[in-house]
Chain A
């Protein structure tokens, strides 16, 4: 039910005329629903800004929330909901912040003109507008939440793939959590870049923290090893738990001539034995 332009004008007058009363009773309603998680002064500032937004939209002749005249109000609402989303309020609590305006206005209307049929109709039209605003808020809230989740997923991806230096010329990647294509790609890039940066000819991929190894995960690991080999570095896979070893055999996954070790310590020992030979060969020649 769209508002007619003279009606929206009257609402603008109504909101303007009872500004203090509306804001005060609105703030009360919201404060009750948020149970003191935002300070009253902060709430008061927010509601009085929103009240001005509604008033401005009506004064400009907005008949629907989608009108150009309500653009500023929409911006205010989405800002409010993304703020609430980040502060961890629920969708209901966010929506009530808007719906409470209806109660606040109803109180003012009650006190003023008395409940005649015309006033009631007007109030219903007004309340439809506020409903739309509330729904819009929930939409923006959901959007803000989704962005938040996407950001966090990305951060998690960054956090969960550290490449650590174990020894001179030996780096290790302790993999924790399920390995999907996106993560495998990040792991591969990180590892190869670290190999180049540090000039380490040995890398250990530790899969102790990987809950399950299927053909796809094995494929990802194998690709990483082959890429490292192409660049001239050797990869060892360590941390293979008993069940994983059984799964690998049952699935018929071939690791070929890639060294696999049960523990990270074994892998490091294996690498040191190989480099140790080199050092043993090299040291006397340098001294002599």
Chain B
């Protein structure tokens, strides 16, 4: 079975999805990522979807679930590299990917995570200007 690799870069885990998100792959990724967050103690997760041509409601829900799991383990998730065509399709379909923070590329995603950490370090959990991930 194909697996999505989870790479550790400094304080951040990088997941680059380059295969179709099928049920098994998705479950495996959720499991792997949760294990890695606990094992490494990382506080940020970046999911790169620049290789995905199609993002439907299933993939959207998967990403939201991953974000929620990470959040429970005290790690912020940022989805980066969404293609313009994907974004346009999502808007046309009326899907808005609730509970997911996005950035244009990995660089900006890392900046966003760093800014979030700095803010949280100074003022405890002040998420007023960010769409906060809703924890179940």
CA distance A166 to B84 in the complex (A): 21
Contact with B along A215-258 (1 / 0, CB 8 A): 00000000100111111110000000000000000000000000
Are B108 and A192 in touch, CB under 8 angstroms? no
Contact with A along B77-94 (1 / 0, CB 8 A): 011101110011011100
B125 at the interface (CB under 8 A from A): no
Q: Which residues of chain A have C-beta atoms less than 8 A from B88's C-beta?
A: 188-189, 192, 227
Nearest residue (CB) in A for B78 is A232
Nearest residue (CB) in A for B89 is A227
A160 at the interface (CB under 8 A from B): no
Q: Contact size class for B?
A: 20 to 34
Residues of chain A in range 258-288 having any CB-CB distance to chain B below 8 Å: 278, 281-282, 285
CA distance A196 to B102 in the complex (A): 13
Identify which of B82, B96, B114, B118 contacts A231 (C-beta below 8 A). B82
CA distance A199 to B84 in the complex (A): 13
Nearest residue (CB) in B for A223 is B91
Name the residue in A228, A230, A278 with the highest tally of chain B Cβ atoms < 10 Å from its Cβ. Answer: A230
Known: A232-B103, A278-B115, A281-B115. A227 touches B108 (CB 8 A): no
Q: Contact size class for A?
A: 20 to 34
B107 at the interface (CB under 8 A from A): yes
Chain A contact residues: over half helix, strand or loop, or mixed?
A: helix
A201 at the interface (CB under 8 A from B): yes
Instruction: For the complex formed, measure the closest distance between the CB of A127 and the CB atoms of chain B, giving whole angstroms.
Output: 59
CA distance A115 to B92 in the complex (A): 74
Q: List 25 A-B contacts (CB under 8 A).
A: A188-B88, A189-B84, A192-B84, A192-B88, A195-B84, A196-B83, A196-B104, A199-B104, A199-B108, A223-B91, A229-B102, A230-B82, A230-B96, A231-B82, A231-B84, A232-B79, A232-B80, A232-B102, A232-B104, A232-B108, A232-B109, A232-B112, A281-B118, A282-B111, A282-B115
Residues of chain A touching chain B, judged by Cβ–Cβ distance below 8 Å, are 188-189, 192-193, 195-196, 199-201, 223, 226-233, 278, 281-282, 285
